[in-house]
Amino acid sequence: MKGRNLLIIALLVLASGIALIFLNNTISSTGVVITGGILFILAGIFNMGAYMGQRRGGTPQRNALRSAISWVASVAAVILGLAMLLFQTTFTPLVPFMFGVLVAFAALYQYFMLAYGSRPSPLPGWLYIFATLLAAAAVYLFLGKDETLTDRVIMLITGISLAVFGLMTVYEAIVIGRHNREIRKAGTVRSEGKAAKADTSAPDASPKPLDEKTEETPATNESEK
């Protein structure tokens, strides 16, 4: 994975976490449901408009399948958004669960990065501590009681988790980017060394003087015969 792409993701998540931390008294579960419903509706409408405006290509079978999938996904997004707006009392208790899923995904992503995703760049093992803390925060959001899981606590836990995830990813992006630069630098030096070695081992094509002089044969004068 490229360090630059990882850094962009990290900064976006870090900004979201900081926003949740500072706005923990302002953001409520009801507000999250309303915002999510509006976003789902806008995403469904935007997807419909984008699909209708794009050029269609390929075989008719693929066009029909693509059209069916796109319309079903767009309509489902709009219906879900409307349901969240109309049945706020039903979706509000699910906010801790949804944020728990978000934090759990962040923990799983970190475990994946540390175990496999960063190869061949090595990452320090102490990062597993923070990944485990993210997993513990997700479990608390899943299993916490309603009396303790107030809106402020939910926003604080989610914001801190996202901030930790963002900081971890920033550090990982720096390490991966540095390792990639070292690999490119080593490859450049190796290629230059091979080129220099090839130049020195090439045979010298410059003309060399003859070691022995060729003997000139005297010309015979036919008139003397």
**Nearest CA-CA partner of 27 in 168, 167, 162:** 162
- Each residue of 193-222: pLDDT tens digit? 666 566 565 555 555 555 555 445 555 554
Residue type, 195: A
Q: Residue 172's pLDDT is what?
A: 84
- Each residue of 128-165: pLDDT tens digit? 999 999 999 999 999 887 778 888 999 999 999 999 99
Q: Residue 138's pLDDT is what?
A: 94
- Each residue of 93-104: pLDDT tens digit? 889 999 999 999
For residues 52 and 63, the model is more confident at 52
| CA–CA–CA angle 133, 136, 138 (5° rounding) | 115
- Residue where the block lists tokens 């175990």: 115
Q: Rounded to whole angstroms, how far apart are CA atoms 21 and 15?
A: 10
Q: Residue 222's pLDDT is what?
A: 47
Region 42-52: mean pLDDT is: 80
Cβ–Cβ < 8 Å for 96, 144: yes
Look at residue 115 and tell me whether its pLDDT is greater than 90.
no
Q: Rounded to whole angstroms, how far apart are CA atoms 132 and 124?
A: 14
